[in-house]
């Protein structure tokens, strides 16, 4: 790992933290708030790739674990990992990794712009939404004591906003690729 990698990981961890400054939107029927920080997960994966994107998310979780209030709403500390949103937080690491892995495999500079846009969108949706939900929903169902199907239906409220975040990650991933490519390529 180079100094450049470490700086990029820290930069994207900072971006995720800054996205937490936006106030969370709490809903009465589900104990997990809507935040902008999940967009940072998608950005880290799409722009940095699998390894560095996942490490950026892991760094944020380390900051949370040591008690810094870096999550949306000023939350932090080990108690967060025993709460209803813990599954989503752990899913950030895997989500950024999968998002980056898909982007590394699908996106190339030789593709048309449309193909690049669609590849970044597929990566953001699969990793940043699919994988994060895969970790978050079972834990939320367990913590809330509700049936899994009931939790999935309640969690659909997150989908429109997450699709908008994936679209923003797609645009940012393509813009960075065009101007200053950081995404590693896999064969």
The 10s digit of each residue's pLDDT in 116-137 is 999 999 999 999 999 999 999 9
Residue 185's pLDDT band (boundaries 50, 70, 90)?
low
- Assigned token pair, 157: 């409220």
For residue 33, the model assigns a pLDDT of: 85
Element (H, E) at 129: none
**27 strand-pairing partners:** 30
The 10s digit of each residue's pLDDT in 18-36 is 999 988 888 877 888 889 9
Q: Which domains does the chain have, with CATH numbers?
A: 3-179 (1.10.1760.20)
Helix %, strand %, coil % of the chain (to 5):
70, 5, 20
This prediction has a pTM of: 0.93
The 10s digit of each residue's pLDDT in 67-111 is 999 999 899 999 999 999 999 999 999 999 999 999 999 998 889
**71 strand-pairing partners:** 75
* Pair 12, 56: CB distance under 8 Å: yes
* Pair 184, 59: CB distance under 8 Å: no
């Amino acid at each position: 790992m180079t100094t450049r990698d470490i700086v990029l990981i820290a930069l994207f961890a900072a971006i995720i933290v800054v996205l937490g400054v936006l106030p969370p939107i709490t809903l009465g029927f589900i104990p997990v708030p809507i935040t902008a920080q999940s967009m940072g997960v998608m950005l880290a994966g799409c722009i940095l790739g699998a390894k560095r994107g996942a490490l950026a998310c892991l760094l944020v979780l380390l900051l949370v674990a040591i008690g810094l209030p870096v999550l949306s709403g000023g939350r932090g500390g080990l108690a967060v990992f025993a709460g209803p949103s813990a599954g989503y937080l752990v899913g950030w690491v895997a989500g950024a990794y999968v998002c980056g892995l898909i982007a590394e495999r699908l996106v190339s500079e030789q593709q048309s712009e449309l193909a690049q846009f669609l590849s970044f969108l597929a990566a953001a949706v699969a990793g940043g939404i699919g994988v994060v939900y895969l970790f978050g929903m079972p834990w939320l169902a367990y913590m809330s004591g509700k049936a899994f199907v009931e939790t999935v239906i309640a969690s659909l409220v997150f989908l429109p906003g997450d699709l908008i975040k994936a679209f923003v990650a797609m645009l940012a991933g393509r813009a960075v690729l065009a101007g200053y490519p950081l995404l590693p390529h896999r064969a």
